[in-house]
Chains A and B, each alone.
Chain A
Amino acid sequence: MTGDVAVLGTGMHPWGKWGRSFVEYGTVAARGALADAGLDWREVGSVVGADTVRGGYPGYVAGATFARALGWQGARVASVYAACASGAQAVDTARTQILAGLTDVALVVGADAAPKGFFRPAGGDRPDDPDWLRFRLLGATNPAYFGLYARRRMAVHGDTLEDFARVKVKNAAMGALNPDARYRRRVTAEEVAASAVVADPLRLLDICATSDGAAALVLSSMAFARRHGAADPVRIRAVSTVTPRYPRTVLDLPDIATDSAAAVRPADGTFRASIARAAYEEAGIGPEDLSLAEVYDLSTALELQWYEDLGLCGEGGAAGLLREGATALGGRLPVNVSGGLASFGEAVPAQAVAQVCELVRQLRGTAGDRQVAGARVGVTANQGLFGHGSSVVVVR
């Protein structure tokens, strides 16, 4: 397919709380991806950074920051921001440049050094900023929104706290097999149930932590890949970066209210479902073609929501899919075999890039103990604050 770009290299700095600069993590990941690709940094024609907004000015210009750290060599540069979807937008920017013929090889880097505790808005009194308002007026942290979604699923679909705990148990078991994960210990349902409630009904072990970490990809045109000796590389076939359609009827971070559906009939399906649909359409596949998926499990309950939004099951069917083991390693459609955010903790600009790294390693057959047998097609799913969808389809 003419829309494919090749993935020549992946690189990661292990997730954790390392107490160093995001630049250091990102540079480690970038060097790893270049080594994996067998390319010299000076052969890269474009570098795209996913912004690290808590890193001050160097974080706002992440692409240039990494280019400087790797050694200025004249590549074109871009820095993109789309909250949790920043990494996927960086992938899409690089891909678009390659497909447009502007460069043969692009390097994508996302890295974060996360503060302890709840994410909070930028400083100053800014009553015109919905992110500031939700904290000032309501004390509505990110986990509070996760709690709202979880409670809604319990009321509408009959999900239970035990179902949510099962997600954590599953992901922790897979994260234990991943050397790049921050948490590499299996967790029991009893441990989830014994952890403190953060935002009813969710407990500490239902909610992802915030981490340091970095991920990088080397992408190229298919022609360059062949010249470089990669005859059958893993390819990125689609990147969905859609926005919602008015009226948006599901309350979303950081908003205090939804749009009104009184005057305009809402489109069929939610925003999240439209993210996956756009990726499937662009790739010419459907959920039945998937070998595995990496979804944004900011909370255990949100992982279940993604099953339905990706069309892995019908609405309300996610807990059933989980209970039958379909989404565990060895199941018919493993989800978050990397360990997911449950095992990584979110490193915002790096996370969506890391999702793609995992799919590439799985499709290459180099994922070690967590390998999904015969993996051919994978999808990532993610949603950034303020209306940023992202989903990447990777094929072999």
Chain B
Amino acid sequence: MSRIRTPVVTGWFTGRGGGFRLLGTRCSACASVFFPREDAFCRNPGCPGGELEEVPLSKRGRVWSYTDSRYRPPPPYVSDPELVWRPCVLAAVELPAERLVVLGQTVPGVGVADLAVGMEVEAVPGVLNEDARTTWTTWHWRPVRDGTAAGTGAAP
């Protein structure tokens, strides 16, 4: 029986392949952007309060910092205790248009030696874990290997 692909958290990302994007919300009154999404209220203390509308975030950003987890994280992180732990890599990525930093795991196969602060990466669909019935999907950061694309960011 095939597993059903289900986002591990609802409404934080959308799309497949090249159309994959993180989703945030934007306040109609002050234009503040929120990720993870705020749907109830704008958190800008100087804002009278507007409607919060869903917006896709920049697909690409630059690495603010990175690290890895050499030891198995505790629950609710899901990992198979029967398998040898393989360190997962985390990158904090600054999105140029939104001017915010989003943490995420990198795509499998990328180690800390492959990353550098300032490197361009892009958000791609990924799998967090699988159980009997479900493939839990998430976002991953993937280094942009195409040198010609590196200069096309939305802001300086």
Contacts and interface: CB of A to CB of B under 8 A. Distances in A.
The 8 closest A-B pairs by CB, nearest first: A147-B67, A139-B73, A155-B117, A139-B77, A152-B65, A120-B74, A261-B99, A136-B76
Interface string B59-100: 000001111111101111111000000001010100001111
Contacts of B97: 262
A256 B111 CA distance: 20
Interface in B21-78: 27, 30-36, 43-46, 64-71, 73-78
B114 to A, nearest CB: 12
A148 interface: yes
B151 to A, nearest CB: 21
A247 B67 CA distance: 24
A133 interface: yes
B110 interface: no
A200 B101 contact: no
Given A136-B77, A262-B33, A199 B68 contact: yes
A259 B25 CA distance: 12
A271 interface: no
Interface of B: 8-9, 27, 30-36, 43-46, 64-71, 73-79, 88, 90, 92, 97-105, 112, 116-118, 128, 138
Listed residue (A133, A137, A199) with the most chain B CB atoms within 10 angstroms of its CB: A137
A121 interface: yes
A160 to B, nearest CB: 15
A246 B101 contact: no
A256 B12 CA distance: 12
A258 interface: yes
A71 interface: no
A125 interface: yes
A125 B27 CA distance: 29
Interface string A192-230: 000011111110000000000000000000000000000
Contacts of A198: 70-71
A200 B103 contact: no
Listed residue (B27, B31, B45, B66) with the most chain A CB atoms within 10 angstroms of its CB: B66
Interface in A110-129: 117-118, 120-121, 125, 127
A121 B31 CA distance: 33
Contact of B90 (A140, A202, A261): A140
Nearest to A127: B9
B66 to A, nearest CB: 6
A100 interface: no
Given A135-B73, A137-B138, A257 B36 contact: yes
Given A151-B117, A152-B65, A200-B67, 20 more contacts: A118-B71, A125-B76, A130-B36, A135-B76, A139-B90, A141-B71, A148-B66, A148-B90, A148-B103, A150-B67, A152-B117, A199-B68, A199-B70, A201-B67, A249-B101, A251-B101, A259-B100, A260-B100, A262-B33, A263-B31
Contacts of B35: 256-257, 260
A260 B66 contact: no
A274 to B, nearest CB: 15
A134 B102 CA distance: 12
A264 B47 CA distance: 10
B90 A256 contact: no
A95 to B, nearest CB: 27
B74 A144 contact: no
Given A147-B67, A257-B35, A260-B99, A138 B8 contact: no
B112 A200 contact: yes
Contacts of A155: 65, 116-118
A52 B57 CA distance: 39
Given A135-B76, A138-B90, A263-B44, A257 B32 contact: no
B64 A139 contact: no
A149 interface: yes
A135 B74 contact: yes
A22 interface: no
Given A155-B117, A264-B32, A139 B100 contact: no
Nearest to A266: B99
Nearest to B68: A200
A118 B70 CA distance: 12
Interface string A226-265: 0000000000000000000011010100011111111110
A270 B33 CA distance: 20
A25 interface: no
A132 interface: yes
Nearest to B79: A139
Contacts of A138: 77, 90, 103-105
A156 interface: yes
